[in-house]
Amino acid sequence: MAKEEDLSYKEAILKASASISRYPLIPIKGVPLMSYIANNWDSISAFCPDPSDLLIATYPKAGTTWTQEIVDLLIHNGDAEACKRAPTPVRSPFLEICAPPPIPSGLELLKNMDPPRMIKTHLPFHLVPSGFWENKCKTIYVARNAKDNLVSYYYFDCMNLTQPEPGPWEGYIQKFMRGELSWGSWYDHVKGYWEEREKKNILYLFYEDMKENPRREVERIMRYLDLSVSDEVISRIVELTTFKKMKENPMTNYSCVPPPVFDQSISPFMRKGEVGDWRNHFTPEQSKIFDEDYKKQMKDVNIPFRTLI
C-alpha cells in the first residue's frame, strides 16, 4: 500500500516532467504565490474543511514536515508502520499546491480522503479559506527564527525547480526582507497568526522550542489535540521524529518528490535541521543590516523568537 502510493505520486511527477519549470509568482491580495496556485485561487479559497480537520500552518521551511510527522504518530499512538502508509504529502495534503497533471493537487488529494485530515498550508492568515475559522478547525502554527528560516528557504529554492531562481545569496536576503519570496513576507506571516492565536485557538509553536525540548512540545501538541498517549509512546514519537530518523525515512524525507521538482543532489530536503546555522551564512555586515530592518518590521509585536538555543 505504502509503496504503491509512493510510486504513483513519484510517477505522476515524472510523467509531468516536460511541463515542469520554475513558475513565476503572481500576487494574490498582495501575496506573491506560484502562478499555478494563483491561477487556481478561486477553488482553493472556496475549500471548506470538516470541523474535525486539523490545519498545520507555517511559513515555508519552518518545521512543517516535522510537525506533520509528530501529529500523525500521535494520532496513530506511535505506530511507526501505520505512519509509513504513504509519503508525507499524501498523508497530509498541501492545501494550495497545484502542479501540471497528472500530479494531484492538494484539493484533489483532499477530495479523496475522509476527515479528519491533517492539512498543510503556507498561506498567511488572511488568505486561509474562511471555512477553517467558521468550522473552528484546530490549527497548529509553527514559527522559526527569521535568519534560520531564510537560510533554509534559500537552499530549498536552489533545489526546488518549481520555485523562482533564488539568485545570489546577497540579493536573496533583500528579497526575504522585502517579502518578495513565494508566500510573501515572513514578518507578516508570523505576525498574522500571532495576533489571531487566542481568538482562533491556534497552537503557536516555535521550531527552536521543538529542538530544545522535543518531548515537551510533543506533549503540548498531544494536549491540544485532546489525545492521551503513554509516556512510553511519547518517548517513541520523540525518537522517531529526530532529524536523523526522518532523514533516513523514505516516507518523510521527500524522496517521493523526484527531480525535476526536488533535486536533492543540489541540497537535501532534510538538510541540517539545526538552530543557528545562519551564523555560517550571514556576514557580520549582512547580519547587522538584517537586524536593523528586523527591529523596524517587528516593532509592533513581541514574539519570543530565539536565533540560538
The answer to whether residue 155 forms part of the interface with ligand PPS (CB under 6 A) is yes
The answer to whether residue 306 forms part of the interface with ligand PPS (CB under 6 A) is no
Residue 83 three-state SS: helix
**Least CB distance to ligand PPS at residue 32 (A):** 16
Choosing from 98, 202, 218, 270, the residue that interacts with ligand PPS (CB under 6 A) is: 270
The answer to whether residue 189 forms part of the interface with ligand PPS (CB under 6 A) is no
122 catalytically annotated: yes
Stretch of residues binding ligand PPS (CB under 6 A), selected from 55-63, 187-195, 226-234, 289-297:
55-63
The answer to whether residue 276 forms part of the interface with ligand PPS (CB under 6 A) is no
Size of the site for ligand PPS (CB under 6 A): 19
What dihedral angle (degrees, nearest 10) is formed by the CA atoms of 291, 297, 300, 302? -40
Q: Which is nearer to ligand PPS, 64 or 185 (CB)?
A: 64
Stretch of residues binding ligand PPS (CB under 6 A), selected from 2-10, 129-137, 239-247, 288-296:
239-247
The residues near 282 (Cβ < 8 Å, ≥ 6 apart) are 147, 173, 290
Pick the closest to residue 275 from 305, 234, 252, 245 (CA basis): 305
| Residue the block writes with cell 501575496 | 31
The residues near 143 (Cβ < 8 Å, ≥ 6 apart) are 58, 59, 62, 190, 193, 194, 204, 205, 206, 207, 303, 305
Stretch of residues binding ligand PPS (CB under 6 A), selected from 5-13, 19-27, 73-81, 264-272:
264-272
